[in-house]
Every structure is written in structure tokens, then in C-alpha cells.
Amino acid sequence: MSEIIKDPRIIAIRGNPRVGHGSCSVIDECYDDQELIEILDEKEIRNPIDAIRLALKINAAYWERGLDACSGEPETDRRLQEPYREARDALKEFEKENG
């Protein structure tokens, strides 16, 4: 097992049902473990709970940017609103459970 996989922050993120393996989130699909470690280290995030919180924030921000850049077409807007709401609600739920 590599050092990257042993990082408890990465294990926590990859195991989270909202942003981890198989979630189809931006974290799951676009970030490899080393990229996540660099972001977490840059932001001085040292514990798994804060790592998941950041991953959820990144995911919600991704969908929010999509809405902001939307052409205004009702169908496009509707397709982006649902994943944004889900990402935003997942972050709110996490915050409520973890402070």
C-alpha cells in the first residue's frame, strides 16, 4: 500500500458516500489522491473530518460555478440545479452532524 493511500484524510474522503469512490462527484472523478493531499496540505487540513468538509465544499462550489456560468436556458438550468442542491444539502447535513 502506498503512502498516499495510508493518509487518513484520503481514506476518509474516498470512503465518504457523497464525494468518495463511486459517488460520481467532482472529487471522485477529477482529483487523484496526490492532488487532494496537496490541496489539504496547502490549506493545513490535518484531520479526516475537515478533509471531508473541504471535499464537500469543493464539490458544491463546482456545481455552483456551473449554475453561475449557465446560459440561462431553462433545461440547462434545471439539469444543473438538482446536483447543486444535492451537493449543497450534503454539505449542510455534514456540518450539522459534525459541527
Which has more pLDDT, 1 or 26?
Answer: 26
Please write the tens of the pLDDT for every residue from 26-59.
Answer: 999 999 999 999 999 999 999 999 999 999 999 9
Q: Is the pLDDT of residue 1 over 60?
A: no
Average pLDDT estimate for 15-26? 96
Instruction: State phi, psi for 83 to the nearest 5 degrees.
Output: -65, -30
Average pLDDT estimate for 53-76? 85
Q: Are 5 and 33 in contact (CB under 8 A)?
A: yes
Q: Is the pLDDT of residue 62 over 70?
A: yes
Q: How many helices (H) and strands (E) does the chain have?
A: 6, 0
Instruction: State phi, psi for 78 to the nearest 5 degrees.
Output: -65, -40
- What residues does each domain of the chain span? 3-98
